[in-house]
Amino acid sequence: MRQHKRYNRIPTQMCEGNFNEFILPHLTRGKSGPPSKITLHKIFNYILKFLHSGCQWENLPIDRDSQGKPEIHYTRVFRIFKRWLKDGCFDRIFVGSVAQLLKKNY
């Protein structure tokens, strides 16, 4: 049996539409500190890159702004990842996504 091509690789990036539908409803947001300058969608994609590549957090390829500075510090991405892990967000994402796909009969 031949597997469909789109399932042959682990996703390392998620489009904003799928992120808003499957991921965003299950994420917690920090209550203190300054708001992030980049979207949760972009932060989630950085986490996907980290998980896929297995690099150290400090070697995460962060995009640069117009002045050449990283748009977010890798430690902030790490802290958000840690919070989502502690809050059970990744478990809720998995369960919610499977339930949603089952409801749509994929």
pLDDT tens digit string along 42-52? 999 999 999 98
Domain map of the chain by residue range?
Answer: 10-104
Identify the bridge partners of residue 70 per DSSP, sorted by sequence position.
64
Which pLDDT belongs to residue 57?
Answer: 95
Identify the bridge partners of residue 64 per DSSP, sorted by sequence position.
70
The per-residue pLDDT of the chain, averaged, comes to 88
Which pLDDT belongs to residue 101?
Answer: 82
Which pLDDT belongs to residue 9?
Answer: 67
Which pLDDT belongs to residue 106?
Answer: 59
pLDDT tens digit string along 11-24? 778 999 999 988 99
Q: Of the candidates 11, 77, 66, 67, which has an alpha carbon nearest to the alpha carbon of residue 38?
A: 77
Residue 104 near residue 48 (C-beta atoms within 8 A) = no
Percent of the chain clearing pLDDT 70 (strictly above): 89
Say whether pLDDT at 1 is over 70: no
Distance CA 55, CA 36 (A): 23
Residue 10 near residue 52 (C-beta atoms within 8 A) = yes
Give Cα 105 to chain centroid, integer Å.
Answer: 24
Q: How far is CA 70 from CA 13, 21, 66, 90, 102, in A?
A: 19, 28, 9, 26, 39
